[in-house]
Amino acid sequence: MIRYFFPVLFMQAAWLPTYGVEVDSLRTENLRLAVKANVESPADTTSSVELNEVVVRASRIYTTSDGMVYVPSKREKNISFSSISLLEAMGIPSLTINPQSNGVSTISGEPVRIYIDYQPASADDLTGMRPADVKKVEVLDSPSDPRFHGDRHVVNFIMVKYLYGGYTKVDANQFTSDIQGTYSLKSKMAYKRMTYDVGVGYSNSFSRHAGTDSRVDYLFPEGKISKYEDGKDAESDSHNGYATMRAIYQDYNKSVANTLGFTLNRIPRNQATSSLRFEPEIQDFTSSETESDSRNNGFSYTGNWFFSLPHALSLTITPDASYSKSTRHESYSIGSDLSIVNDIEEKSWSGSLDATLRRQFGNHAVGLQLQGGLTGNNINYRDYTTAFEKARFYYGGVKLDGDFRFNKLSLRGNVGVWGNHTVFSKYSHSEPTFHYLIMARYLLDHASNIGISSEMAFNQVGIAMRNPALVRTSLLDAVRGNSELKLSRSHSVAVDYNRFFNQNISFAAYARWTGDYNTVEEIYDPVIMDGGPVMVRTMQNNGSFTRISYGASCNVGLFDRRLSLFGSVGGENARHDASVLTICNKLTLAARATLYLKNFYIQLYWQNPAKYISDFSSGTTPQYYQFIAGYGHQNLNIRLMAYNVFNSSWKMMTDRQTALLRMAETVYFGSTYHRRFGISISYSFGYGKKIERSNEVDARNVDRSAVLYK
């Protein structure tokens, strides 16, 4: 709350009304004046009158034609050590924050692209962001701004700007049980129109409880074979590092950002010894051993260029290029009778260019987008499997976009055509695709809006699924891709509603139908390899996958927002109709409470046991809960975390795969739902003059892998 006092003395005739003025605004740019008049009896004298206190309440939530805008409080920024924790503290009802992965999605489960000052940001970029510098957060659906590259759902952090100077931020996170740690350093320096960012990070994980316990039934022509495997005592060790550098030039009509990133990833040990039993007994096997050693190193370049041109034109160009090299040594053995060793080396690269030209016509705009790119993969299999595969994927397309604004109603639509061409060894395949999106959003009043959308698109097939190599992975299992796979078609219709009843209570609800057709399913073929039966997994296009999902969430602030309560409920009815029919009906509940005690805070979170269904499997996960106690003030944030303190089980999920000739139930073990503890420390310091500012650098993604493995 901002208070202004106006002690004004003036000469006034006694018969004029005396006014007390109070300003109580939902938006500072649209002040509402409540004028109170008190008419006194006429007199022949003049009087000196002082205006009463003027109160201006800055709005922390308001609607726009593209969505909602939220202004974080100083208290919320103080307790936040990253951008994701800030979103969590703000309790935005239209967003879901996964506390396990820190992933952000809409409450309907759709992916959200996150930006910082209109620059795309990765998870590491968001970790290094300084929450104290956040001015507001835009939560947008199909925004019209060309700098968002046509993304469907967007969160954009608007930051304080620096004329010169910047900040440095250090983050450290350490967890017990399976030893895990992440450490990063970000530094930003701005001078007038140039901004330079550097960032480095390292993470490590050492686990002794990441195994599986499975039963697999194989229906061979000779009869059924059941395999029981207990591998709960697996061990794995991983190390990951990155370094990034970014330079941004900005003036009143252009922004040019260029980022160069390097990644070094190594898993020197991933091994498990499992007890093994067959019914009926094939041979006298009692145990199996698996072991792998892998590494992946690469670098990437990304540009993000925006130009404001004459005649209400704008041009956005995004070039992208990357290269990576990976090696993988894996082995599977059963005593001295069978040993399968595969040494795999892959070199992959990619390049793309995206350009959008946009023309503004008053409140309306139209745009033309051109896209094109290629990826390449060279895979060399050695030892047990000997093969060399060369994969190339080319794509290009054009999209026409329109955005129309009519007072409270905004309409947006786009239609695009793309061509895809895949070459894998001697096989080549070309397939055109078509996409459209129609969306309408209506501002019901200053505090609520409703949106309706319809979309059709094609789902890309992972390049590894088209790898025709035959790779044996165990005594009874082998995998092979299908180079003739076609793209599946996806349709969706959705409606959403957002409302804030006052500055302390906000609400969101949605309903969505999605239908995927000509989907990809796993199939199994029995063959004879090395004199014994083996079930080969491959894939084919068949069937449909439909979902009806619905839900709502609400955030309530009490006692001047010293207590924040957040709750969500969601339901889904899913049907996967392929060679085997799978149906899943689920209800998801989540609740979070945060209590602020000056610079200290306490937070509780709970989520009920959940079900899930995907293209290839379905399953269940246990309930999840956490307790956080922390301190946040200015540049320092410390939090102590306790997860699932009453759960001593390492069970993480139960996954079921059902095909015509192979049925499997696998229990996965890990530390996600086990009792564990952690500590996070974040410290930053700023310097210089805050006027103009850009975002930090991020750890870049490397190329997609086309290696086929189980």
Average pLDDT over the chain, rounded to an integer? 84
Task: Find the helix or strand (DSSP H, E) in which 78 lies.
Answer: helix 74-78
Q: Which residues pair with 460 in a beta bridge?
A: none
Q: Which of 169-183, 378-392, 502-516 has the lowest mean pLDDT?
A: 378-392
Q: Is the pLDDT of residue 605 over 60?
A: yes
Question: Pairing between strand 95-97 and 104-106?
Answer: antiparallel
Cβ neighbours around 42 below 10 Å, total:
9
Q: Please give the structure tokens belonging to residue 220.
A: 């061979």
Whole-angstrom distance, CA of residue 530 vs CA of residue 528: 7
Give pLDDT, residue 250: 87
pTM here is 0.82
Region 669-680: mean pLDDT is: 91
Q: Is the pLDDT of residue 218 over 90?
A: yes
Give pLDDT, residue 339: 80
Look-up of token digits 């975002």? 695
Q: Is the pLDDT of residue 17 over 80?
A: no
Cβ neighbours around 33 below 10 Å, total:
11
Query: SS3 of 85, please?
Result: helix
Report percent pLDDT > 70 for the chain.
88
According to DSSP, residue 460 is labeled: P
The band of 10, judged by pLDDT with boundaries at 50, 70 and 90, is: very low
Region 700-708: mean pLDDT is: 49
Region 449-470: mean pLDDT is: 88
Residue 265 sits at φ, ψ, to 5 deg, of -125, 135
Query: SS3 of 395, please?
Result: strand
Give pLDDT, residue 697: 41
Report percent pLDDT > 90 for the chain.
50
Give 527 or 52, the one with higher predicted confidence.
Answer: 527
pLDDT in tens, 313-358: 999 999 999 999 999 998 888 866 678 888 889 999 999 999 999 9
Residues present in the chain in total: 710
Q: Is the pLDDT of residue 370 over 70?
A: yes
DSSP output for 503-551: TTEEEEEEEEEEEEES-EEEEEEEEEETTEEEEEEEEEE--EEEEEEEE
Q: What is the 3-state secondary structure (H, E, C) of 546-568?
A: EEEEEEEEEEEEECCCCEEEEEE
Give pLDDT, residue 629: 95
Whole-angstrom distance, CA of residue 643 vs CA of residue 671: 10
